[in-house]
Structure 1
Amino acid sequence: MAFNDAIAKLRALTQTNVQQGWRYCNGDIPYPVATQPQSWENWSIAQLNEKDYITWSAGRQVIWLSQRFLVPQNLQGYPLSGLGLRLVLTWWAESAEIFVNGQLVQEGDLFDSSTRILLSSTVVPGEEFAVALRLLSPGHDIGGLMRSQILYEATNDIDPGFVADELTVIQKYSASFNPEQLATLAKAVAEIDWDMVSQRTEFMRSLTRLRQQLSTIENSNFRIQNSQNSIHMLGHAHLDLAWLWPVSETWEVAVRTFESVLKLQQEFPDFTFCHTTPALYAWIEQHRPDLFKRIKQQVAAGRWEIVGGMWVEPELNLIDGESIVRQILYAQRYVQKTFGQLTTVAWVTDSFGFCWQLPQLLKQGGIDYFVTQKLHWNDTTKFPYGAFWWQSPDGSQIFSLMSPPNVAGVMDTNPITMASYAIDWEIQTSLKEAFWLPGVGDHGGGPTRDMLQVARRWQKSPFFPKLEFTTASDYLLFAKRGLLAKVSRLKVSRLKVSRLKVSRLKVSRLKVNRLKVSRLKVNRLKVSRLKVSRLKVSRLKVSRLKVSRLKVSRLKVAGCIENLSVGSLGEEEIRTDERGGGKGQRQTTNNIPVWNDELYLEFHRGCYTTHADQKRYLRRCEGLLYQAELFAALKTIATGQAYPKTELEEAWKKVLFNQFHDILPGTSIPEVFVEANQAWQEVEEVTGEILEESLNAIASKITLPPPPKPNAQAIIIFNPLNWQRSEVIAISIPVSIPVSIPVESIEWEVYDCFGEKIVSQVSHDQAQEIQNHHNNNDNLSYSQIELLFLASNIPSVGYRVFWLCSNDVELNIELRPSNRFPIPDSRFPTPDSRFPIPDSRLKIPDSRFPIEDFVLENQYLRVVVDPETGELSSVFDQVNQREVLSGPGNQLQAFEDSGQYWDAWNIDPNYADHPLPATELIGIEWIETGVLRKRLRVVRQLMRSQFCQDYILCAESPVLKITTTVDWQERHVLVKAAFPLAIDADYVSYEMPCGVIQRSTRPQTPAEEAKWEVPALRWADLSDQTYGVSLLNDCKYGYDAQASQLRLTLLRSPTWPDPETDQGIHQFTYALYPHQGSWHSADTVKLAYQLNLPFLSLLWSPANSSVVSNNVSNNSQPSLPSTGQLLNLSAKTLILMALKQSEDIPDQWILRCYESHGESANLSLVSDLGLKVVHPVDLLERPISLSEASSDEKLVKIEPWKITSFAVESII
């Protein structure tokens, strides 16, 4: 009998497929009726589809399935009496309820979607079990029962099914590593005494003899446990903080999961478990202190491991670098304080891709390892490595592991599944030790008792890898050391070496065939077991050479290589030349492959765009937190007022929570976003208050220059960015005037701090109409004026005083606290809101205007808007005298975007094949034509939706802004803003957290082709050798590019899991920035920051200083000049990330910055507040040596792409 036939015959003795035996009833019926066998007689037999599945309709539809199971005397002649009986099920249903003999025995859902129900521990022939299943289909998909099987097993001994699994494992290992042993295995299996099947005792003796024979065959590796093969297990329960359930349900699931784990740990003393998310532990600590105390005890005992390294498991493509820092900082501080240890493992198994700077950030946060499984989800390529060094642009490396797939779902302890994975792992990595994470995830659950019982059973099998529980940190250390040790066993084929210089190379077990070497110089070479054939060497110089058992063939190496380490190459042909490994190239360091690129997930590309409200709130709150912390710190340094540490930390933690990988990407149910939006708005409120209070406090220390006129009102313009800048600013002025004076008759003047009059302009943007309210009691009119002027040369993180004057009209400029620092409201208007221009004002001309009527022009750009379409017909660079566009610019391109199972997550890969009709222009008119700002409004119709866009060109600015308000009413539609460009570029550059990444515009490999939609933060840039164009944005994250085109993804409209995703009003801005040279020389990084963090304006009068807190230092007199530079890093390419109070030393401040251009920079602090560097710190604010300081102690050298933090103090 053939080997596979024997395996199938053994399984048939204890296992039966029962898929064809189910009866069904569509629709819900009362439980007492549905679970009684007499009700089933009229139910129809369920039909199987081509996959042998039972399926039913989508949309949360109920189906009842029923079947009676009668225990026979035997299966295929094998007696069953006394064996255990299990029902094995796998379903796809939103909920599953399983009844046995009328009793509910188990529940499940989409995530806990399989089970092995114990029907009886010792069956008796003739015994019957009546099973009913109530299954509810998902709202977005059909339901399915994919597997149902009856399984008889001997729990304390072997049985035919168990032996069949053992033989399958042996066969898999032999086929993969020792194929010459397959004949011996087949011969041994052929000796099974099938005639004794009906005599269970005798037949089992036959199987026992087979096992003994396999154990003793000389020179075989059938005893896998003796071959150093092992599977290291760690219990796991991935728990999404929100997804298809609200956050409140997460807390309940966490409690159930953790209580289950603790109970199982009492029953299984070797069982270890890990879990992430300090935010979750903090909730347990507060609300269930009894449970938390037990968890802490298990952590102290080494049986419960805290992994994760971040406050939640966040979306890591969209959040900025400081957000990642705070994820790490607050997580590590909580874990250190609560559990007495730092987390060494970043565990982000389910996030949707990982930015390239993450290794540097993790390493600076005290984290040594990175683990994910998400790249198993790739739709185009297979990620090449299981264990690897992941390297950031600055050279930081972290040892990384691609864990087994489906960690976020269900991983059981099925022996065939585990062994197959262990074999694949060994083939991929050469490690005989695999890592396995049993448990139910997504909606929590953790390992089940059955999983642990199965594992315990297989721990006793000599034909299975050694099974042992471990921790993630122990396994990762073990794996790293194991890979590093592989350098001692090097086998290479076809070696050719030219000009090879090696220092301190130690190799053992090296075999060389046909070696040709020219000009070889080796120092301190130690090799053991050397075998060489056909050796030809010229100019050989070797010192301290010791070689034994060396085998190499067909390795070609050119150039000069220092500190060479090569290993695990098998029979590959290796070619190394003098060029260093660049981004994405597969390199090797210390025998471990290096991935020097982002970890791009070839899936879930729609997450960059879905639920635009979450993206807008994110960008805004990140900016507000940066500014609130910055100016609160400067306030405390300048005035001695208290720093709002608690309020800022609470705000940060709300933002960090909302960065969870199913909230920020927009892939949850509607209830989740109601809670998330409330948290965002609370952050806006508290940071706005802190920022307003801080600016007022700093203003109280500023010495005002003499006013140019008696009625002049001081305006202080603050710059939150760390470089001097000049921009047109719009300030909102609340005034009250006698009702007899028309607001329009007032003439406004602005003066600089030297008393020089500067150009100003009253805005006539009727999208923000002047608010004019008459109060009969005081005979005054209350108005809100928007005034424009050019705020020039505002210092780095500094300010400048200006003066506001009017003509002889007596004005009362209101300085109420709510108006002193106006923060535009970021809350989205309700769907009933209308566009800023009333419909009656939309001009739909009968005859087209001359094209000159729609031209925006300054010294940098001449922009022509097409009166037929509202698109850009020309953008002419007046400095470089060239046309920017190669076709109509700002095309609103819409496409069908449907048919994806993961609706909110995935853009249809074939969306480009399904374009929708072009937009129709329904209105165009000038809003402003002043000397400081020109503003042209176009309104376009896209099916049921309207786009109202203002083209804005300001004086002294090379940037064309496009402010957009959309009433979005589409379903399954994707819309992009497209800019065909007169450029031909091989690469496109995108901003990522704390850096820039290049991606190809001419994809050559499947991996490059898979990047047809990519994430970016504030900008993308397409540049050739001499010229380029940057596309900036204030809250969008999805881009795509070709050699001559940039596109920004604006909106999409999936319907699952939120059926109303993105319906309603959206507001955002993007901008076109043509420039000479590269993005480096054009300062694209800075202009993108400026779009997102405009100047802050403060109407100020010393008479109002009483509103400033009295909690100030003794020196409360003004001490700052009228133009102040509070913080300057004195390096063009350094970007300030944060200035905040030290977590542990209140009198010290943490300054963090990153190098943004890929070139070295020298940091030198200049500050009117006397700030100086004390020493560098890591992200956890622990001191590190100032090893990179230059000879001038005031200068600190910062390497390319480096993120650097410092403790600073004020010496004033």
Structure 2
Amino acid sequence: MPRLHTRLGGVEVEAWTVPDDGEPVRARHALGLEPEPGRAAPGYRPFPLGAAWGEAWSTTWFRIRGTVEPGHAGPIDLVLDLGWFDHSVGGHCEGLVFTPDGTIVKGLHPRQSDIRLRGHGADLVEADGSFVLYVEAAANPLLLGLPPFVVTEHGEKGAQEPFEQFRLRRAEIAAFSPEIHALCCDLDVAGGLAAELSADEPRHWRLLRAIEEALDVYDEADAEASAGRARAILAPVLATPAHASAHRITAVGHAHMDTAWLWPLRETVRKLARTVSNALALLDADPGLVYTMSAAQHFSWLEEHYPELFARVRRYVEQGRFVPVGGMWVEADGVIPTGESMVRQLTYGKRYFLSRFGREPREMWLPDSFGYSGALPQMARRAGSRWFLTQKISWNDTTVFPHHSFWWEGIDGTRVFTHFPPAETYAAEVTARELHHAVATFKDKAIASHSLLPYGYGDGGGGPTREMAERLRRFADLEGAPRVISRTPAEFFEEAESELREAGALEPVYRGELYLELHRGTLTSQAAMKRHNRRCESLLRAAEYLSAAASALRGAPYPREDLDEIWRTVLLHQFHDILPGTSISWVHREARDTYQAVEERLHDLIKRAGAALGDEQAGGGLPPFTTPARPGAAPAVVEVADGEDGATVLDDGLLRVVVDGGGHVVSLLDLRGGREVVPPGRRLNELQLFRDEPVRWDAWDVDRHVLRHPRALDDVTSRRVVRSGPDAGVEVVRRTGASTITLTMWLRAGTGRFETECAVDWQERERLLKVAVPVRVLARTARFETQYGYVERPLVTNTATEEAMFEAAMHRYVHVDDGDFGLAIVNDTMYGADARADGDSTVVRLSLLRGARFPDPRADLGTHTFRWAVLPGADVPAAVEAAYAFNAPDLAGLPAPLVRLELLTGHALVDWVKQADDGSGDLVVRVYETRGGRASARLRCHEELGARAVVWETDLLERELGADEDLPVALGPAGERRPVGEARLDLGPFQVATLRIATHASLKEDVQ
């Protein structure tokens, strides 16, 4: 329809490219309203149409002046083309439009290229017809295009690779025709619907005939009037109502916004302004629309950088039309963060929404994470959420998930109502094809008739468009299509959950983790992200515990503001394209620097707390902060002897290790029971290299065929015996290509632990490095640690689903046993592993490094360190406690424990100790059951606190538990307070309990 916009005249364009380091300036600086110290003053110069603008990642400000001549009654637009491709919305150049006083008008992208100057509520034109607008244009390079992946240096700031600049192709004043636009939308819906209907259906042919007649009537020479006549022909077929049994779809405006991905964090801040301003314009124009946005971090960025937009958002939140969803700080990775990190994602997110809007989202909203831990249902429910949403499982490469609306039951037995939008996208455009796909795909038709459709351009932002809104109106009640309604996610979830409950015995339940059969490489890519995240989590645990101890025992100030700031930084970097290692090099470079600064701050907080406590308090601590004592009967030193054929034998009376002349472990004998760990003919600690060239998703995937062809690294550059105090080991240096790998294998005297330190100078591309740990344990499953428990995964591949778990997530340990003998492998850095049965043995391979080339062509190059240890004879409690100790920072002078558990039955432990978030000075203690069984324990406090301590159980946000809550409690009746000395905990499988302990005198009356 070439007459949608009719040119009325040209405009005068001037441009100023931001100099210096190319980083953006504030709008008020670019507009000459408020100079920014240290930045060059804007110098606008004439800019000709068709000229190139902007090096990669630079910003150019355009000043556009024009005059709207009198005499035209309809809407008038300024139409721009900054040089867009007709695809990849949010994936290349974008713009944000301002008035001269700094007011944001809207964002620009390939599907939002016009600015309403006058008409339909807009008035940007002065009385004399003149106008001035500014456009902040971002020259973001197209990194994900056609074909999808190319190796490029443009993912780094200041890259020298040649960059084809964008060109200003169009800048003109044009008349907009609402009637022709409406005809376009009518034809789009009618044609799209006809294409989805079978040729056997009368409706298909009636739509086609109406379209044909409408096109016959339309006359380019008399476009406006003939468009009206064509619409009149289409009106009857677009007014036929949907069938009574038609599927119902709740459509919510959305722009799944990646906090960082193919752009740095600073660009996401600007993307938010562009997207939110467009969403607000749609809400202004259409009172029936609803828009959703997740991630408290995104709202916080708006509040900080674009307060005027945030104020407008707040008004629509109050009306229930701009809906905060998800309740998390960011849309985090669903498997890598530790349990406490996921708790803080929810507590920091929900508290932000409550403080700013007085509202608490009741759903977890994670459409695009790369798998979902089986601990999430419990965490969601204990944080006050009722529902869970994702669609990523539709990306499975092997099996089709059996449900779209179902009860997801976590590893502890907690259930949460879960929905997968059957349109199988989080960035729908409300097309007939998407709606038809949603109905055809929906797995639960027999008992459910509702689904959700998040629509709007996502990933890089953009959000809904007026065309999507027009389709939504036309599909509201239309024969041959599902009924589409605009309402809030909560309204959908309430109705869909109620409908599912009515199914009774037919209610579908899915138990355990939601394993994504794709993107398995994210567990290993960008190893530095994983190392820093693990280290920060461990340091945070120590810092919060010691700070709480210093405050409770010595009255030292609790560093709440420091800890909050650090937590928000760590949570931000757990976003599902940062921590998993799938962003551009710019993102990861900045992240490494940020992590380093955070770790230094945490070390400083730990030192300050230690100084406040003083050495006289030394004598205990919590399992994560201390190394288990060495058995008194163990020898004081590891004996070293020469074996056959140049082998070295290490022996401490508990374990005997034989390292052959080639530097491989050929025997690991548990002397306590005479059990040999290494299977005959196998080698423990064998480094294996694989060709790793994913078919499509480079940094994301490890393809199944990769693991079939290992190449053992046998070359030995050097080999020597090393000693450290009572410990002894063997250091082996190997080379592959340009890379050097140093393994130092230690027998730690008296610990029952065989430990390996691995230092790698990694220079490989498109290669995967693993270390194999074969163990003589016949098991059908292996236990991979996850948040607050473990996931039991098959070691055999009898089914396609079992085979698809060929690479899976672990946290700090993997455990196997055969009923008589157990063994654990603990680590301090890694998250990816594979484990398979091999005859009467099990082979566990830990993934160390990859060499992906997109989106960061230099991913993982450089030096890395890893540690792992084998613990023969360990059961799950021993594995858990060893994993805590193995990951703990080295600390001295720890206080006697503030809180500990005196176990009566089973096994549970104190996972976290901190001060309450409300500043009351109360202690908050998180405990959980570790074995997947049941546990009972007495709660014990430090002697200086015990006599005056009162304890009660709370939710994760440290609020009183509701009496009607259907979750199990550990302390008895919800809300009941009791002296700590009388507190007994009864925990179910993997149950998490949050305990609040008050020590101040005001609560003594409550006890009496």
Q: Common fold, TM-score beyond 0.5? A: yes
Q: Aligned-pair distance for 1:905?
A: 1.0
CA 920–187 in structure 1, closer or farther in 2 if over 3 Å, else same: closer
1:586-625 matches, within 5 Å, as 591=507, 593-625=508-540
Residue 991 of structure 1: SS of its match in structure 2? strand
- Cα distance, 1:478–1:113 mapped onto 2, change above 3 Å: farther
Query: How far is 1:465 from its partner?
Result: 3.6
Identity of aligned residues (%): 30
Partner SS for 2:699: coil
The superposition leaves residues 928-950 of structure 1 with CA deviations (integer Å, 9 ceiling, x where unpaired) of 175x2112211111222111111
Deviations 1:377-428 (A, max 9, x none): 11111111111111112221111111255645x4212233223323433764
Cα distance in 2 for partners of 1:191, 1:447 equals 31
Q: 1:304 to 1:943 in 2, by over 3 A?
A: same
Q: Say whether the 8 Å CA contact 1:720–1:1093 is kept in structure 2.
A: no
Q: Structure 2 residue aligned with 1:1129, among 901, 905, 908?
A: 901
Q: What residue number does 1:142 align with? A: 147
Distance 1:850 1:236, change over 3 A: same
Question: Which residue identity is paired with 1:264?
Answer: L
What does the per-residue CA deviation read over 1:148-169, in whole Å, with 9 as the maximum and x for residues that have no partner?
xxx9995446999458537627
CA contact (8 A) 1:90 1:115 kept: no
Aligned to 1:746: none
1:255 deviates by: 1.1
Q: Distance in 1 between matches of 2:635 and 2:686?
A: 35
Counterpart Cα distance in 1 of 2:140 and 2:609? 58
8 Å CA contact retained: 1:112, 1:443: no
The corresponding residue for 1:1154 is 928
- Please give the alpha-carbon distance, in whole angstroms, between the structure 2 residues aligned to 1:423 and 1:299: 34
Query: Is 2:89–2:457's contact at 8 Å kept on the other side of the alignment?
Result: no
**Deviation, structure 1 residue 983:** 2.1
Structure 1 residue aligned with 2:565: 650
Query: Which residue of structure 1 lines up, in the alignment, with residue 361 of structure 2?
Result: 343
Shift in alpha-carbon separation, 1:210–1:154, aligned structure 2, 3 A: closer
Partner residue in 2 for 1:977 = 771
Q: Say whether 1:326 aligns with 2:326.
A: no
Residue 1055, structure 1, aligned to residue 827, structure 2? no
Task: Kindly state the Cα deviation for residue 203 of structure 1 after the two structures are TM-superposed.
Answer: 14
Instruction: Provide the C-alpha distance between the structure 1 equivalents of 2:243 and 2:772, rounded to a whole number of angstroms.
Output: 60
**Aligned counterparts of 1:1035 and 1:190: Cα–Cα separation in 2:** 61
How far apart are the structure 1 equivalents of 2:214 and 2:492? 45
User: Where do 1:1007-1046 residues align within 5 Å?
Assistant: 1007-1043=801-837, 1044-1046=842-844
CA distance in 2, matches of 1:662, 1:255: 21
- Whether the 8 Å CA contact 2:777–2:818 is kept in 1: the answer is yes
Residue aligning to 2:672: 879
Once the two structures are overlaid, the 10-residue window that deviates more, 1179-1188 or 880-889, is 1179-1188
Instruction: Kindly indicate whether residue 995 of structure 2 is the aligned counterpart of residue 1206 of structure 1.
Output: yes
Are 2:687 and 2:712, in contact at CA under 8 Å, matched by a contact in 1? no
954-963 vs 1166-1175, greater mean Cα deviation: 1166-1175
**Aligned to 2:931, what secondary structure does the other structure show?**
coil
Indicate the SS of the match to 2:900. Answer: coil
Following the alignment from structure 2 to structure 1, what is the Cα–Cα distance between the partners of residues 738 and 190? Answer: 62
CA apart distance, 1:911: 0.9
Give how far 1:468 is off: 2.3
Residue in 2 that maps onto 1:452: 469
Residue 480 of structure 1 pairs with residue 480 of structure 2:
no
Please list the CA deviations of residues 95-118 of structure 1 after superposition, one character each: whole Å capped at 9, or x if unmatched. Answer: 66899xxxxxxxxxxx97778999
1-structure distance, mates of 2:360, 2:934: 32
> C-alpha offsets along residues 1042-1087 of structure 1, whole Å, 9 cap, x if unaligned?
11211111111112111211111111111111116xx33x611111
Q: Deviations over 1:19-59 (max 9, x none)?
A: xxxxxxxxxxx9979799xxxxxxxxxxxxxxxxxxxxxx9
Q: What SS does the corresponding residue of 2:909 show, helix, strand or coil?
A: strand
* Correspondence for 2:18: none
**Partner amino acid for 1:1170?**
L
Question: CA offsets per residue over residues 318-362 of structure 1, 9 Å max, x none?
Answer: 111000111111111111111101111111111111100101001
Q: In the alignment, which residue of structure 1 is the partner of 2:456?
A: 439
1:1197 pairs with one of 981, 986, 996: 986
Distance 1:1139 1:196 in 2: 70
Residues 204, 163 of structure 1: alpha-carbon distance in 2 compared, 3 angstrom cutoff: farther
Say whether 1:234 aligns with 2:260. no
Structure 1 residues 928 and 86: CA distance shift in structure 2, 3 A: closer
CA deviations 1:1031-1052 (Å, max 9, x no partner) are: 1101111110111211111111
Instruction: Indicate the residue corresponding to 1:634 in structure 2.
Output: 549
The answer to whether the Cα contact below 8 Å between 1:376 and 1:405 also exists between their aligned partners in 2 is no
Matches within 5 A, 1:886-897: 886=679, 887-897=682-692
Q: Is residue 1097 from structure 1 mapped to residue 892 from structure 2 by the alignment? A: yes
Structure 1 residue 210, shift from structure 2 partner:
9.9
2:956 corresponds to which residue? 1179
The aligned counterpart of 1:720 is 622
- What does the per-residue CA deviation read over 1:575-595, in whole Å, with 9 as the maximum and x for residues that have no partner? xxxxxxxxxxxxxxxx3x111
Once the two structures are TM-superposed, the CA of residue 607 in structure 1 deviates from its matched residue by 0.8
Aligned length: 842
8 A Cα contact 2:190 2:211, kept in partner: no
Pairwise CA distance, 1:1139: 1.1
In 1, are the aligned partners of 2:370 and 2:516 still within 8 Å (CA)? yes
Cα distance in 2, alignment partners of residues 213 and 412 from structure 1: 22
Could you tell me whether the CA contact under 8 Å between 1:112 and 1:440 is conserved in 2? no
Matches within 5 A, 1:899-1048: 899-916=694-711, 918-928=713-723, 932-1043=726-837, 1044-1048=842-846
What secondary structure, in the 3-state scheme, does the structure 2 residue paired with 1:686 have?
A: helix
| Contact in 2 for aligned 1:1138/1:1153 (Cα 8 Å) | yes
Of the three residues 941, 945, 948, the one matched with 1:1170 is: 945
**1:774-923 mapped onto 2 (5 Å cutoff):** 850-851=644-645, 854-867=648-661, 869-886=662-679, 887-916=682-711, 918-923=713-718
- For the residues of structure 1 that align with 2:701 and 2:801, how far apart are their CA atoms? 17
- Does the 8 A contact of 1:1149 with 1:1208 survive in 2? yes
TM-score by length of 1: 0.64
Tell me what 1:566 maps to.
Answer: 505
Q: Does the residue aligned with 1:1165 lie in a helix, a strand or coil?
A: strand
Q: 1:310 to 1:158 in 2, by over 3 A?
A: closer
Following superposition, the deviation at residue 1146 of structure 1 comes to 1.8
Q: Distance in 2 between matches of 1:1148 and 1:95?
A: 47
Structure showing greater radius of gyration is 1
Whole-Å separation in 1 of the counterparts to 2:80 and 2:243: 28
Matched to 1:435, the amino acid is L
Kept after mapping to 2: 8 A contact 1:764/1:927: no
Structure 1 position 289, deviation (Å): 2.0
| Deviation, structure 1 residue 759 | 9.3
Equivalent residue of 2:197, what SS?
helix
Correspondence 1:29-428 to 2 at 5 A? 90-91=86-87, 138=143, 142=147, 155-156=181-182, 161=187, 164-165=190-191, 168=194, 171=197, 182=200, 185=203, 223-224=241-242, 226-227=244-245, 229-404=247-422, 407-408=425-426, 410-425=427-442, 428=445
For residues 653 and 1147 of structure 1, the distance between their equivalents in structure 2, rounded to whole angstroms, comes to: 21
For 2:824 and 2:999, how far apart are their aligned partners in 1? Answer: 39
TM-score by length of 2: 0.76
CA drift of 1:916 comes to 3.8
- Over residues 727-754 of structure 1, what are the superposed CA-to-partner deviations in whole Å (9 max), with x where a residue is unaligned? 469xxxxxxxxxxxxxxxxxxxxxx9xx
Q: Give, in whole Å, the separation in 1 of the partners of 2:983 and 2:363.
A: 36
- Are the aligned partners of 1:1160 and 1:1200 in contact in 2 as well (CA < 8 Å)? yes
Distance across 2 between alignment mates of 1:98 and 1:643: 44
The change in CA–CA distance for 1:1146 and 1:378 in structure 2 (over 3 A counts) is same
Amino acid in structure 2 at the alignment position of 1:366:
G
Higher relative contact order (CA 8 A, sep 6+): 2
Structure 1 unpaired stretches of 5+: 1-10, 15-29, 37-58, 61-84, 100-110, 120-133, 145-150, 176-181, 216-221, 488-564, 568-590, 703-715, 730-751, 766-847, 1100-1119
